Amino acid sequence: MADTDVQEQLQAVLSKSKDDTPDLKEIGNTFQAIANALRLPTAAPARDDLGKSELPEALVAVWKSAIPDGSVRPTGAARTCILELLRVAANLCNDNDANRQRLLDVGVVQHLLPMLSAYSQEGIELELEDLKVAKTSLGFLLN
């Protein structure tokens, strides 16, 4: 994906994240496109630009819409959106200390930890999608 495509996707996310009830499926698809673009070996300049943009704040805004009660496991479209949001966050942090600090500063990690603790409750049955969210969460934290 070219830098112009990433910028277009960014503008779409910024616009949608400000809605009172954003379409989580649509935002999840946009996050997926951004996350895929940020995985490319040539994506370092895009990671720098996106880290300096309003994207980190948009990640938090979408998180709050997807999981209003931060200590629960997301389901359905919210779970898919959170998975892709975490992929974006993880890829933003790839070899980029400034973006790591930026995501800490806006509170992404502070929202992530209560959700992760919801996965540790006894007696719950986890689905494959839950495991993907947990795995991607850990990948983000490791990056």
Q: How many domains does the chain have?
A: 1
pLDDT at residue 132, rounded to an integer: 97
What count of other Cβ atoms lies within 10 Å of the Cβ of residue 70?
16
Q: How far apart are CA 49 and CA 87, in angstroms?
A: 17
Q: How far apart are CA 30 and CA 13, in angstroms?
A: 7
- CB neighbour list of residue 34: distance below 8 Å, 6 or more residues apart: 6, 9, 10, 13, 50, 88
- CB neighbour list of residue 44: distance below 8 Å, 6 or more residues apart: 95, 96
pLDDT in tens, 115-124: 999 988 878 8
Q: How far apart are CA 56 and CA 113, in angstroms?
A: 17
In this predicted structure, the answer to whether residue 104 has a pLDDT above a threshold of 70 is yes
| Domain extent for 48 | 3-142
pLDDT at residue 2, rounded to an integer: 57
**What percent of the chain stands above pLDDT 90?**
76
Q: What is the dihedral of CA 7, 29, 66, 99, to 10 degrees?
A: -40
